[in-house]
Amino acid sequence: MKQFIVVFLLMIFCSSCFLFSDMKKANFSFSENGTKHSVNVVVPKKYSKTETRTDSAGNQVHYFLYPGGAQLYFAFLKDTTTELQTINYAENIPKELYQTVFYKGVDSTNHYWRETRFNNYKAGYRNVEEDDDGTFDSAINYFSLHLMR
């Protein structure tokens, strides 16, 4: 039985490395009521730049910018009505996944976009090529699952 458990854990470890081989570990940090918080995230490799922006309402967004114009973002919002990307609500029906609400679509240039919402958090991407949307989806799903812990 002990050998079975060891083999099982080894299989999980190896498969998790394989699942995130296109990903890199990163961190999303934000302040809430004067307390600094940090959430572990995974992001697609090969981003060229990161930016953190805080607006006058106290909304905090961390962007990962990729060659070709793709963007991935994680946000803690004091004002949850803040739009981080334009979504046509008449054409995009919200879907639920892991107790979150998300929107996903293709823009006029045939690039994918997505936004997921959970309480005061938003995560999303835009301007992503068709072959890469699954990797960006994995980053957002990982973030959403870690928020619910």
Do the domain assignments include residue 44? yes
Reported as a pLDDT band with limits 50, 70 and 90, residue 21 is confident
Reported as a pLDDT band with limits 50, 70 and 90, residue 20 is low
Do the domain assignments include residue 79? yes
Q: What is the pLDDT of residues 57-99, one digit of tens each?
A: 999 999 999 999 999 999 999 999 999 999 999 999 999 987 8
Measuring CA to CA, which residue among 42, 45, 129, 138 is closest to residue 97?
Answer: 138
Do the domain assignments include residue 68? yes
Do the domain assignments include residue 6? no
pLDDT of residue 146: 83
CATH at 105: 3.40.1000
Mean pLDDT of the chain: 88
Do the domain assignments include residue 63? yes
pLDDT of residue 5: 46
Helix (H) or strand (E) holding 125: strand 121-128
The three-class DSSP label of residue 34 is coil
Q: What is the signed CA dihedral for 23, 25, 28, 29, rounded to 10 degrees?
A: -170
DSSP calls for 46-92? ---EEEEEE-TT--EEEEEE-TTS-EEEEEE-SSTT--SS---TTT-
Give the mean model confidence (pLDDT) for residues 100-117. Answer: 95
Query: Which domain, by its residues, includes 62?
Result: 24-147
> Looking at the 3D structure of the chain, how many domains does it have?
1
pTM for this model (two decimals): 0.84
DSSP calls for 84-114? SS---TTT---EEETTEEEEEEE-TTS-EEE
pLDDT of residue 9: 41
